[in-house]
Structures are given as C-alpha cells and as structure tokens.
Structure 1
Amino acid sequence: MTKAMGSAMRRIQAGNALSAFGLGFTVPYLYVYVAQVRDLGPTSAGIVLGAFAMAALVALPFVGALIDRRGPVPVLIGAALSAAVGAVALGSAASLVTTVASAAVLGVGTAVMQPALATMIVRCSLPETRTRAFAMQFFLANLGLGIGGLIGGQIVDKNDPTTFTLLFGIEAVMFLVLAGIAMTVRMPHIPLVEGAAAGRGFFAGIRTMARHKAMMQLCGLGFVIFFACYGQFESGLAAYGTEAAGIDPSTLGIALAANTAMIVVAQFLVLKFVERRKRSRMIALVGLIWTVAWIAAGYAGLGHGSQTMATAAFISTYALFGLGEAMLSPTVAPLVADLAPESMVGTYNSAFALVKQLALAVGPAVGGPMGASLHMPYIVTFILFSLGISVLALRMGKRLTPAQDLPVPVASIVVAKNVPAEGESAVKTAA
C-alpha cells in the first residue's frame, strides 16, 4: 500500500467506527421510541421499522451505478447528510406520517453508506491487504455499535422523550462527522474501463452481473447466510428463546453482548487462520459452526436440562454465531470486491448489500412466527439452512479462480522448496 492509500484507509475506518457508534445510540431503542415514547402503538412501530427497511430496498439497486460513475466519496457524503437529516427529524417527529418519512430518509442514508464505504476500502487496499481491511471494518463497526448501545442505555428514559431526542441528536452529529471525514479523503484515481457497464447505466450493469455465474452463486449464498443468522437475531431466535426455552427477556441482552464480545475477541485471533485458507472452505466451515449453534439452541428449548443449562446453551448459540461472523467478515466482502470488474466495484457492492437487506426483511417475517410457535420445525429448518451454507460454499468454490479463492500469495504461506541448481543436481547425480 502507498502512503496515500494508508492515510485514506485510516480515515475511512475512523469514519466507519464513528457512524456505527452513532447508530448504536438509537437502533436498540427504535421500537420502544415509536410504540411507547411517542405513544403510536406496536402496529405503528412495525410500520416505521418496515419503512426503514423498504426505503433501503428501493434505493440500493440504483446506488451502485452512481458510485461507479461519480465515485464513492460524494455518494458517501450525500448518504451521511441524508442520515443526519433523518435522525434529527425522527428525534422530533410526533405523528405517524412524519415518523415514517423520517425513518425512510434515515434508512436510505444508512443503507447507501454500506456499498460506498465498501468501495472506498476496495480502492484503498490491495488484494493481499483487503482481507485485513474488511476485518478491521467489521471489528470497529461492532465495537462502535456496542459502545454506543451501552452509553445510550444509560441515557435513555422512556418516560422522558427529551432523552430520545438527545440520542438521535448524537447520532446525527456522528453522521456529520463521517461526512466531514469523507471530504478529506483523497481516493486513488481509478480510470473507468472503456465501454464498461457502469458507464452505460444501471440496467447494463445488472445484465453484466447476471452473466457472472460466480457472483450469482455468491449472492444466493449471501442471502442464505444473512437469512439464517442476522435475520433471526432479534426476531425468530429471540421469540424461540423466550417461548420455547423460557429465557428471561433480560437474558436476550446478555446473549447479544456475548455475540458482540465473541466478535471483538475472536476477530483478529481467527484472521491469520482465515486469510491463509480458501475462502470457499472457510464459508463452508462457518456453516458447520452455525449448525452446532442451532443444535445448542435446540437443546435450550427442546432439551430436558435445568433452566441454567438452557440459558447457558442459548447464550452459547449467540456466541457461536459471533465466531462465524468473525470468520465471514474477512472472507465474503473481499470476495465480492475480487469478483467485480475494475469499473463495477460499486455495482457489485450495492447488489450484495441489496441481497443482505432482502434477507434481513424476509428473515424476521419467516422466523418470527416459526420461532414463537413451531419450535421443532424452526430448529430443524435452520439447521438445514446452515448445512446448506456449507454445500453452496463448496459449489461456489469450483467457479472461483485460485486468486479469488486464496488471494494471499502462495509464497507467503508455504516455505519455498530448496530446488538445486542444474549444475549442483548433475554433481549429486554423478556422485
């Protein structure tokens, strides 16, 4: 990496951490804010959360081509400013209409940040350093969310709406800080390839990507990954834990903390192991780890042990998910970047972000009702999904080039053999 790329990367990672810190102040409390503090009720809260997700689904398909044409920096600045406006408006909204509109603006801003930041990381890294760059991004994002949520929990008071206004204000300031940092980043110049799909617009980019079988397989795999893990955290798995396992609601917070703690502790411990092995095999291994996690969840709700054992097994489920997430963060996002043509990195990142958003929308809708009432089918279904991750990952690996599946140069992994010179070999033969 050049000195300029290193400087840009440090600023990008700092902005990423601060924006996650701001999100942590409000994300855990959005439902409570709408339903109880603004007294709009649970139905309205569901509508607001749906608007937050749907706005992202509407925006993401068109963001990639914009990033590839205009560059990720102006797109990130616009997204951060949009998110700041949405946060301020949400903190002062009182009616359902203004709350939904504010949530939609905030949802668009936060969703567009993801592919913009990912593209900036790609532009400021080399294939050999990209794995660690994305691992650092994931680590800082989780750390920021965790610290923000912890501090926000000490401030928030559902009997005092001004405390929520303060939280949304802090979130808006963090987004403005991100925009300010982005303005100082000097990205390496990447010339567009002549006749590239990005230059012809959104639909040409989609057609090009649809013909890329490895990317299509990765998108399908990504949907299963996000559906079977992230899409269940605060919906199906939480409902299953409280209904089937008899977990106290306060224990859900401990389980989420165990997930975050595992990510923070394990991220760089597993990095060396992950980056020196084929990506497809690492994703397959994550599928097996998550299979064990779902078996632990099954024991918690369907076993006949004590409540203490059930609680421990349930918390272990979240911790095992965290271990898998720590292994995926330096694997999946860099693979998207390595599959993308030079002029379509933004399009590929946006497409994968859209897949993630779809999974996060479908996951709770499917998992929530199953986890609450169909306990055994719920566990069996997601054990099969986890095993499916392993199968899909190994199938995808057959379509990857050696450089895409294992980007770290072989010479840095395997000690080179001591091959004798031609003359030396002749002397040994004669001897």
Structure 2
Amino acid sequence: MGAALRRIQIGSALSAFGLGFTVPYLYVYVAQVRDLGAGTAGVVLGVFAMAALAVLPFTGRAIDRRGPLPVLIVASVIASLGALALGLASQVTAAVPAAAVLGAGTAVMQPALATMLVRCTGPSTRTRAFAMQFFLQNLGLGIGGLVGGQIVDTSRPASFTLLFLIEAVMFLVLGAIAATVRMPRTSVAAPGVAADGATPRGGLRVLLSHRAMVQLCVLGFVVFFACYGQFESGLAAYGTEAAGIEPSTLGVALAANTAVIVIAQFVVLRLVERRRRTRVVAAVGLIWAFAWIVAGYAGLGHGSQTMATAAMISTYALFGLGESMLSPTVAPLVADLAPEAMVGQYNSAFALCKQLALAVGPAVGGPMGASLHGPYIVTFVLFSLGITALALRLGRRLTPVQDQPSLANVPSRVVAVSVPQEAAAEVPAPVAAVH
C-alpha cells in the first residue's frame, strides 16, 4: 500500500475500534444504566438510524464538490461531539439529539472513506484495498467490543461514559490521520460530467438512468436486509425464542462470525479476485440460503439443545464466510461503475440503500423471528436465493472488465467506468464503442 492508502486504512480501523466500545452496549446504556426505559432506548436507536438516512442524500454531492478529505474530517468531528454528548446524557432530551448527531457523523464517514480508497487505488488494486478495509474494521470492532466488555459496569454510569469518551477520541484520531493524507489529483473527466470536474445538476438523474447501478443498489438492499439487518434483531429473537439458546450464546455466535471473517478474508480473496464478481455474489446467496436452513434446523428440527446451539453458531459463521466474499466484490464494483466526478454520489447512494435495509430489516425480522418461526426462515431463504438471481442478472449488464477486473491488461480508471445510458449518447463514437 502507498502511504496515503495505509493511513486511510489505519484511521478506518481505529474508528471501528472506537465504535466497538459502544455499539454492543448502547441499548443497555440507555435503558438500564441511565434508567430511561426500553422505549426510550428504542427511540435512541431509531434516531441513530434515521439521522443517517437524513444526511446521506446530501453527502455524495458534498464529497464530489469539496473532496472526500474535508468531508471526512468534518464528519469525524461531528461524530466525536455526538459520542461525547451521548456519554454524558442522563435525560431523554439530551440522549435523543446526541444519538442523531452521532448517527449523522458516522454515516457520512462511510462514503467519504470509500471515495478516498477509490482515489488512492486503481482497478487492479481496489479489490484488495476494500477487502483490507473490511478485515481491519471487523478486527477493530471485535477488539473494541472485547475491551469495552472488560470496562463496563452497569452499576457505574461513569464506566459507560469512559467508553463513549474513548469512542470520541478515536473519531478525532481518524480526523487527525486523514488531515495528513495527501490525496492524488484526479484529472479524468467522465461522460456526463462537466470538463472542469464539477458535478452536473442532473447528477441524480444520471445515476438513476444508469441501470447497472440501480440494479446494484437493489442487490445491496437485499444483501443487507437478509443478513446485517437480522443479526441483532430477527435472528437473535429467533435464536432465543425458537432455538432456546441462552442470550450469552449470541455473543459467542457473533464472535464466531468475526473470527471467520478475520481468518478467511485473505484466503477467500485469493479465490475470488480472479473470478467474476457477480458469480461470487451469487455464490454468497447460496451460502446464506444454506445458513438459514441450518438456522431452521436449530429452531424447528426438535434436536438436542446442544445441536441447536451448535447450529445457531454455525449460522453466524456461515454468514461471516459470505461477508468475506462480499467485501472484495460489491464495494469496488460501485466505484468502477461510477463516472470520475460522481464517485462520492455513487458511494453515498449505495450507503443509503444499505442504511435503509438496516432500518427496515429489524422492523420486519424482529417480530417474525420472535413469533413466526417457520415463515421467518422460509422468507429469508427466499431472500438469499433472490441475491443469487439478482447477481446473475446484474452480470449481464456489466462489461467483462467490470465483472472481472483481472481481465484488464493495463489498469485504467476509464476502462472501469460504465457509462449511464443518457450520458452515453453524448460520448464520441470511439469511446462509446469501448463500452
């Protein structure tokens, strides 16, 4: 990795380390430690998610106009203030706005970091860079959660304040590291954007006319809805209610998920980086369908409690295997589809779809996992198979190099760009013929 990319990865890992201190304990902190009740805790978590939905539609344009670096620095400061305010909040009137500020800041950091990775890599190195980011973020979250677990004490609110203070400091460290990064200059003007690199007014219109990107956003929504949106809601409820596992076992299952990601990431990377991206994503859908069937055995198979527990842990581990296959495929594909001056908007659009799935997933999966055990499993087996179908369909809209970057003999940002349909009409004939 170059110096700029190395610093970005370190900053991203440290911010994930800070998040790991608080994410597993946010509900307990609001509901029990601050004694604000389960209802208020639900509102705080909801506001955290809704704040992200509110800011992401504007984030992409800011990144493309101002650059990802200043946007990331501002977002890290905002997130730090939100974390500090939440750690000191003892009333509803303080906790809710603090959660909104924290949610907005952390949401903006995601597409800003992704755009910085794009600027510091080419098509031949981008897959490995995103895989490295995913690996380091999961490692940071896992270590942060383990260390935070040794600090927390529900009888001492000050211990939770310390967690949020550490998180706030880690966000500031991210901003400080980002401020030292010298981003490479971009000079390629892509079809559908102005010659000076400015984002056109019709940026959203251009994105929506790009059928491959729209299909990728739909695929991303289904991916995050069927997996990440169920981890701490529907699947957890199903495991405790239908499979009868102890709540503490969920922590072991999440640890197994993280362990598989950390162990398998670079082994999997070697297997997938020279294969078609959409075929890899299609395989993830099949793996996750099998994972849901294993979960079905845990809750509906009427086996021993030991077998049910092992099956639930295996389900989380299988999800981790699929996640390690997605990290080097989906995020780099978003970047390769984006015109040069719209990378921020494309990354933000995909992040918005992800956030929508994370908001809708628990609302749908939670009640189903708790009471409708059979329909819950069948529904998400079908959603997982839907991932496979959507991925194969998307593959028909991609160029060979977009679907399999290893086919490119010479790394080129232009070769990797997929031209939205309306913009293609304005491209000179020799360039359009390439695509």
TM-score, L = length of structure 1: 0.93
Q: 1:251 aligns with which of 245, 249, 252?
A: 249
1:181-225: CA deviation from partner (whole Å, max 9, x where unpaired): 000000001137387278356x62211100000000000000000
For residues 22-44 of structure 1, give each alpha carbon's deviation from its aligned partner in whole angstroms, at most 9, with x where no partner exists. 00000000000000111100000
Paired positions, count: 407
CA 1:102–1:192 in structure 2 vs 1: closer, same or farther (change >3 Å)?
farther
Partner Cα distance (1:85, 1:69) in 2:
25
Q: Deviations over 1:328-376 (max 9, x none)?
A: 0000000000000011000000000000000000000000000000000
| Distance in 2 (alpha carbons) for counterparts of 1:192 and 1:135 | 26
CA deviation map 1:84-125 (0-9, x unaligned) = 000110010111111000000000110000000000000000
Structure 2 residue 96 is matched with structure 1 residue 100? yes
Task: Name the structure 2 match of 1:373.
Answer: 371
Shift in Å, 1:409? 3.0
CA distance in 1, matches of 2:345, 2:6: 24
Which residue number in structure 2 is paired with residue 336 of structure 1?
334
Match of 1:14 in 2: 10
- Return the letter of the residue paired with 1:156: V
* Amino acid of the structure 2 residue aligned with 1:262: V
Describe how 1:171-186 pairs up with structure 2 within 5 A. Answer: 171-186=167-182
State how 1:208-223 maps to structure 2 within 5 Å. Answer: 208-223=206-221
In structure 2, distance between residues paired with 1:144 and 1:18: 6
The 5-angstrom pairing of residues 340-359 of structure 1 reads: 340-359=338-357
Task: Name 1:196's counterpart in structure 2.
Answer: 193
Determine if contact 1:49/1:103 at 8 Å carries over to the other structure: yes
- Measure how far apart 1:161 and its partner are: 0.4
The match for 1:261 is 259
Taking the TM superposition and a 5 Å limit, the aligned residue runs for 1:248-397 are 248-397=246-395
DSSP 3-state at the match of 2:335:
helix
Equivalent in 162, 177, 191 of residue 166 of structure 1: 162
- Superposition map of 1:47-126 within 5 A: 47-126=43-122
Aligned counterparts of 2:276 and 2:87: Cα–Cα separation in 1:
46
Q: Distance in 1 between matches of 2:282 and 2:292?
A: 16
- Corresponding residue SS for 1:159: coil
CA contact (8 A) 1:226 1:360 kept: yes
CA contact (8 A) 1:128 1:409 kept: no
Aligned position for 1:417: none
SS in 2 for 1:408: helix
Per the normalisation by structure 2, the TM-score is 0.92
Larger radius of gyration: 1
Q: CA deviation digits over 1:41-86, x for unaligned, max 9?
A: 0000000001100000000000001100010000000000000000
Identity %: 75
The answer for unaligned runs of 5 or more in structure 2 is: 411-435
Q: Deviations over 1:221-268 (max 9, x none)?
A: 000000000000000000000000001100000000000000000000
3-state SS in 2 of match to 1:317: helix
Partners of 1:314 and 1:31 in 2: CA distance: 23
Match of 1:133 among 129, 137, 159: 129
Letter in 2 for 1:18: L
Secondary structure of the structure 1 residue equivalent to 2:303: coil
Q: What is the CA-CA distance between 1:404 and the residue it aligns to?
A: 0.4
Structure 1 unaligned regions, length at least 5: 413-431
**Partner of 1:235 in structure 2?**
233
CA contact (8 A) 2:199 2:342 kept: no
| 2: CA distance, partners of 1:242 / 1:346 | 41
